[in-house]
């Protein structure tokens, strides 16, 4: 029934109905955390309906079965059950957290939300209004404007180029029938990933999962999504916004999570800008020149693309200098890679801090779901630090050359930067 990773006690549970569950059985506190994903998210939104998956996710706890929205929320509150749903580019996610004594009630309410969402007209309009209010706030938010513009340019004519939360005209046009149809399209057993952590036996968990998801169709009806490499390399986009401080994002093609060079690339990024107070970008941009309060870089990947990104926020008159310094440090990393001392410090930090991701059942469940979504093995938690330690300096330098050498970035700035064409 199970195959285990013993040190972290991650077991594979197969339910009677055939669902594959990653399970950590832990009775330290009487709580159960379950996370799941269906592998079709905002990228599945039809043309002219950007934000449909996010709209759908926002309605799943707004009444289900015989319970209208208020009664459904009261049933959750009565037994302190937490349910939440969300959508990202590639998946629609759900989270359940409950005391073990109320697990049966939690399973039943989650089953109703998954199988029989009501989409009552008043709930639809209330959630629509909430989404539109958020989108109107985003119209004057520098980070939102910069992010959306970068995605639009990097992924033109691709679903990834559209904002996950949608656009106001699209949200205004979405109908109740379209929400129901998208629900029917996205949910299927073949695209379901489930993890659970806490005070529940494998047998009780398997029975609960069958109760929740047993009525799903065998297959979701997803549209194929093409692979895409970052577009608009070398382009600089300036979005005019009357604010004293500009937000700057920079992007390059990245590496996927399953790429053989991923861990070497991850370490190179940590030295460059992922290590917060110890990174090169932090030292050069903030400490040496005082150009910005914070600066960062990261590797980001989706099912059909991958990016390296860096960013900062600085006064309008110092944007051009900040960009020059950031580009110089990225180029230097590509040309030279990290030093042996920098790599040793990066390894020490990444291996030492990894355990902090597992100090609550919710964090463990969230991390396990990420591993499942990325297609990593069930024993990855045990292997991860060994993978970090095994990376050589030569491998990190090679990954840095691949990522950062002789590549023109896509740059997006929101504000009124001076001296930047």
* Nearest CA among 25, 201, 175, 152 for reference residue 410: 152
3-state secondary structure of 7: coil
Residue 305 near residue 160 (C-beta atoms within 8 A): yes
List the structure tokens of 187. 């949910």
List the structure tokens of 282. 């932090």
Backbone angles phi, psi at 36, to 5 degrees: -145, 160
* Nearest CA among 337, 201, 212 for reference residue 280: 337
Position 223 scores a pLDDT of 97
Q: What one-character-per-residue DSSP string does 367-402 give? A: HHHHHHHTT--TTHHHHHHHHHHH--HHHHHHHHHH
Position 128 scores a pLDDT of 98
Cβ neighbours of residue 281 under 8 Å, at least 6 residues apart? 272, 273, 295, 296, 297, 310, 326, 329
pLDDT tens digit at each of 421 positions of the chain: 333 333 458 999 999 999 999 999 999 999 999 999 999 999 999 999 999 999 999 999 999 999 999 999 999 999 999 999 999 999 999 999 999 999 999 999 999 999 999 999 999 999 999 999 999 999 999 999 999 999 999 999 999 999 999 999 999 999 999 999 999 999 999 999 999 999 999 999 999 999 999 999 999 999 999 999 999 999 999 999 999 999 999 999 999 999 999 999 999 999 999 987 889 999 999 999 999 999 999 999 999 999 999 999 999 999 999 999 999 999 999 999 999 999 999 999 999 999 998 989 999 999 999 999 999 999 999 999 999 999 999 999 999 999 999 779 999 999 999 998 7
Backbone angles phi, psi at 147, to 5 degrees: -60, -50
Q: How far is CA 175 from the centre of its chain?
A: 27
Residue 196 near residue 34 (C-beta atoms within 8 A): yes
Residue 16 near residue 188 (C-beta atoms within 8 A): no
- What pTM, to 2 d.p., does this model score? 0.94
List the structure tokens of 260. 């053989």
117 DSSP assignment: B
Neighbour count for residue 232 (Cβ, 10 Å): 19
E strand or H helix at 23: strand 20-25
Residue 402 near residue 261 (C-beta atoms within 8 A): yes
**H-state helical runs in 60-190:** 69-78, 103-115, 121-138, 142-154, 168-173, 176-186
Determine the Cα–Cα distance for residues 296 and 273; give it in Å rounded to an integer: 5
Cβ neighbours of residue 221 under 8 Å, at least 6 residues apart? 184, 185, 188
Cβ neighbours of residue 355 under 8 Å, at least 6 residues apart? none
Determine the Cα–Cα distance for residues 39 and 19; give it in Å rounded to an integer: 15
Q: How far is CA 414 from the centre of its chain?
A: 23
Position 8 scores a pLDDT of 56
Determine the Cα–Cα distance for residues 72 and 109; give it in Å rounded to an integer: 8
Determine the Cα–Cα distance for residues 372 and 46; give it in Å rounded to an integer: 26
């Amino acid at each position: 029934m199970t195959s285990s990773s013993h040190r972290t006690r991650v077991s594979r549970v197969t339910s009677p109905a055939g669902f594959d569950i990653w399970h950590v059985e832990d009775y330290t506190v009487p709580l159960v955390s379950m996370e799941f994903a269906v592998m079709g998210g905002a990228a599945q939104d039809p043309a002219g309906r950007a934000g449909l998956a996010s709209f759908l996710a926002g309605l799943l706890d707004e009444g289900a079965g015989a319970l209208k929205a208020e009664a459904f929320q009261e049933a959750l509150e009565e037994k302190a059950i937490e349910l939440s749903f969300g959508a990202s580019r590639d998946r629609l996610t759900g989270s359940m957290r409950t005391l073990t004594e109320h697990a049966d009630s939690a399973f039943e309410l989650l089953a109703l939300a998954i199988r029989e969402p009501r989409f009552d007209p008043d709930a639809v309009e209330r959630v629509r209004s909430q989404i539109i209010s958020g989108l109107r706030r985003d119209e004057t938010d520098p980070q939102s404007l910069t992010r959306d513009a970068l995605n639009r340019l990097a992924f033109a004519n691709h679903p990834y180029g559209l904002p996950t939360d949608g656009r106001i005209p699209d949200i205004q046009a979405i109908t109740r029938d379209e929400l129901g149809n998208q629900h029917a399209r996205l949910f299927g057993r073949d695209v379901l990933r489930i993890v659970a952590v806490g005070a529940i036996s494998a047998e009780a968990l398997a029975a609960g999962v069958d109760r929740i998801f047993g009525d799903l169709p065998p297959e979701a009806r997803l549209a194929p999504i093409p692979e895409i490499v970052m577009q608009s390399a070398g382009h600089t986009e300036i979005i005019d916004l009357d604010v004293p401080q500009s937000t700057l994002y920079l992007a390059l093609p990245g590496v996927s999570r399953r790429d053989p060079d991923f861990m070497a690339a991850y370490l190179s990024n940590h030295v460059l800008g992922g290590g917060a107070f110890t990174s090169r970008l932090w030292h050069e941009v903030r400490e040496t020149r005082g150009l910005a309060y914070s600066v960062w870089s990261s590797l980001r990947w989706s099912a059909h693309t991958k990016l390296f990104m860096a960013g900062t926020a600085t006064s309008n008159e110092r944007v051009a200098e900040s960009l020059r310094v950031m580009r110089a440090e990225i180029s230097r990393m590509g040309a030279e890679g990290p030093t042996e001392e920098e790599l040793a410090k990066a390894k020490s930090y990444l291996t030492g801090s990894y355990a902090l991701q597992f100090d609550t059942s919710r964090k463990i469940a969230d991390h396990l779901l990420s591993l499942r979504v990325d297609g990593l093995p069930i024993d990855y938690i045990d292997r991860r630090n060994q993978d970090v330690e095994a990376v050589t300096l030569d491998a990190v330098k090679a990954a840095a050359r691949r990522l950062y050498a002789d590549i023109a970035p896509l740059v997006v700035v929101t504000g009124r930067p001076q001296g930047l064409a």
